[in-house]
Structures are given as structure tokens and as C-alpha cells.
Amino acid sequence: MKRPSGRAADQLRSIRITRNYTKHAEGSVLVEFGDTKVICTVSVESGVPRFLKGQGQGWLTAEYGMLPRATGERNQREASRGKQGGRTLEIQRLIGRSLRAALDMSKLGENTLYVDCDVVQADGGTRTASITGAMVALIDALKVLKKRGALKGEPLKQMIAAVSVGIYQGEPVLDLDYLEDSAAETDLNVVMTNAGGFIEVQGTAEGAPFQPEEFNAMLALAQKGMNEIFELQKAALVD
């Protein structure tokens, strides 16, 4: 089996995390997984949704979108269609769930963190890149809240990152690009903590069902890749 990119089965794409990518947001990152590029911003607003008012805790919510020419053919903006698609809703909910797992909401004060992940170029793994990059932007936004004296303690519980794995031409591979993703027999998106715990595993067999030993092999690949990604996040956050 030869991967289209020439990478080894357990090799990540080249990953870059560029902080302070935009001027106005409390936290902003350009994250690149190979040719996949996502701008992740975290904005802070005072106040919380109605269902949390008076409880003394904060909230985090996420939105995800793709620019019209992020892919090989132009896609119509969802705003012009009047509603978001099912894929968009699924991904932004995943991003929100994943990042909320990094925080102790009771320490945020009554503040809301808005995470926006905008894909400027897609080549597979946009949701996993979004989670990985948004985590770094979230750290910078928390630093701003701390400087403002708006926190009630240290809200960060753990770091979160994500990566894709799959079965391509019968073999488990790490960090699928579009050519692999579109032809994979199995595709998994794995979200983990830096302590090695799993936040979420999304898996689908596109062809034949995958077997327990294949599932375990994919999880082992994800863990290996995630250890490297956490080191890249850590390096990116060095001031």
C-alpha cells in the first residue's frame, strides 16, 4: 500500500499553528494540516445564555463554516440558502462538545466564549484541524479574561486535540487527506485529552465492516499522532 502523499502509515501531515492570526479576536489561530487550512477565532462576550443566567458559570459555543472556494468547486454560502446544512451542524456541535471538555465552566464567570472555525482550504480533516487549532486560540482567550480579572479561578482542566484515522487500501493510516478520505474503507475522527483520555470517537465503515483488531490499530495510530499534536500545541503556545 502506497499513500497518495507518500507518507508512512503512521505519519502526520505537516502541521503548522500560527497564533494571533487576526487582529480583533481575543484568541486567533491559523491551523494547517497539510493543505487543509482553518482560521480559528475565540471571542469573549460578557453574559451567558438564558438557561445559565444566575448560576455563576460560563459557556462555550462553536460555529463552523467553509468559504465558497475552499474546495475544488465553488459551494454556495449557507447564508444565501437560508439555513445551515446537516454536516455543518454536526461539525460545530462536535467542536463545541470537545472544547467544553477542556474547561471548568464554574471558573469562567458569567462569560461566553464564541469559537468560530472558518475553513479557507479543505483537503480532508477539517473538523479535527478545527478542534486542534481552536484549542490554542482558546488558551489565548483565557489569558485575556485573566488579565481582565473576569475569571473565578483556573478554568482550564486539560488540553484537547483531534486527528483522523482510517482504513485505506486495507491498512490503518493516520491523518487522512482528501484523496484517502474519499476512498477509505473506514474513517474515524478521534478527540482526545493530553492525559490520554477519549472525548469522542466518530467512526463509519464505508465498505465492509471493520473488525475489532482494526479498530484497536486505528486507535493506537490516533494516540501516536495525538502525542505529536499535543507537542506542537505546546510549542505554539510558548511566548
Polymer length of the chain: 239
* φ and ψ at residue 45, rounded to 5 degrees: -130, 140
- Give tens-digit pLDDT for 120-143: 999 999 999 999 999 999 999 999
E strand spans, the chain: 15-19, 27-33, 36-46, 59-66, 111-121, 160-168, 171-174, 186-193, 198-205
152-162: b or e for each residue (b if 16 or more CB lie within 10 Å)?
eeebeeebbbb
Beta strands at 160-168 and 186-193: parallel, antiparallel or unpaired:
antiparallel
Q: What is the pLDDT of residue 111?
A: 95
pLDDT of residue 39: 98
Structure confidence by residue, pLDDT tens digits, 174-230:
999 999 999 999 999 999 999 999 999 999 998 789 999 999 999 999 999 999 999
CA distances from 40 to 110, 121, 134 (A): 23, 13, 5
Check: CB of residue 99 under 8 Å from CB of residue 141: no
Per-residue pLDDT reduced to its tens digit, 65-94: 999 999 999 999 988 888 899 999 999 999
The confidence score (pLDDT) of residue 54 equals 87
Q: How confident is the model at residue 30 (pLDDT cuts 50, 70, 90)?
A: very high
> pTM to 2 decimals?
0.96
pLDDT of 208:
84
